[in-house]
């Protein structure tokens, strides 16, 4: 008997007991999002977190992106996802991008964390 979609999805998930994240252990795309081989329309691969969200929470409103509240791209826990506008998703991701740049040493002089730590 072929496994159901839900069985296939959970076979590729590893629950993380501390954060509650469902870490995707299958294939990842170049952004770190889990991907599922599943033909919908003309697309052969679907983003795992979007499939989980639709399975447990219902359809994603047209034009909305799913924001990972836990900031773990490979997490597929629908409770960690919120449907937001692309602009809101971008706005929320900015502090994290700035932190990544700081860590890379691009803004070493303006590193407020270093000031607090001193
Ligand atoms: Zn998560």
Q: Is 114 part of a structural domain of the chain?
A: no
The rounded Å distance from CA 117 to ligand 1 centre is 28
H or E element at residue 9: helix 5-11
Question: What does pTM read for this prediction?
Answer: 0.76
Please give the Cα distance from 21 to 55 (Å, whole number). 17
Whole-number pLDDT of residue 111: 45
The rounded Å distance from CA 111 to ligand 1 centre is 28
The rounded Å distance from CA 50 to ligand 1 centre is 13
User: CA 104 from chain center: how many Å?
Assistant: 22
Q: Is 116 part of a structural domain of the chain?
A: no
Q: What is the pLDDT of residues 63-75, one digit of tens each?
A: 999 999 999 999 9
Whole-number pLDDT of residue 75: 98
The rounded Å distance from CA 81 to ligand 1 centre is 8
Whole-number pLDDT of residue 95: 73
- Residue 66 buriedness (CB in 10 A; 0-12 / 13-18 / 19+): buried
Range of the structural domain that residue 40 is part of = 5-109
CATH number at residue 82: 3.90.75.20
Q: Tokens for 10, please give them.
A: 């959970």
Q: Is 118 part of a structural domain of the chain?
A: no
Domain count, the chain: 1
Decide: helix, strand or coil at residue 88.
Answer: helix
The rounded Å distance from CA 47 to ligand 1 centre is 15
pLDDT of the chain, 118 residues: tens digit per residue: 888 889 999 999 999 999 999 999 999 999 999 999 988 889 999 999 999 999 999 999 999 999 999 999 999 999 999 999 999 999 998 876 666 666 666 544 444 444 444 4
Whole-number pLDDT of residue 108: 47
The rounded Å distance from CA 10 to ligand 1 centre is 15
């Amino acid at each position: 008997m072929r496994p159901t979609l839900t069985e296939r999805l959970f076979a590729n998930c590893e629950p993380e007991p501390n954060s509650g994240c469902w870490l995707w252990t299958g294939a990842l795309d170049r952004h770190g999002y889990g991907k599922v081989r599943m033909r919908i329309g003309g697309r052969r691969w679907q983003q795992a977190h979007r499939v989980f969200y639709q399975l447990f929470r219902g359809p994603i409103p047209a034009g909305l992106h799913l924001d990972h509240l836990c900031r773990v791209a490979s997490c597929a826990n629908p409770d960690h996802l919120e449907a937001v506008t692309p602009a809101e998703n971008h706005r929320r991701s900015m502090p994290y991008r700035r932190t990544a740049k700081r860590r890379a040493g691009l803004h070493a002089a303006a590193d407020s964390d270093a000031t607090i730590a001193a």
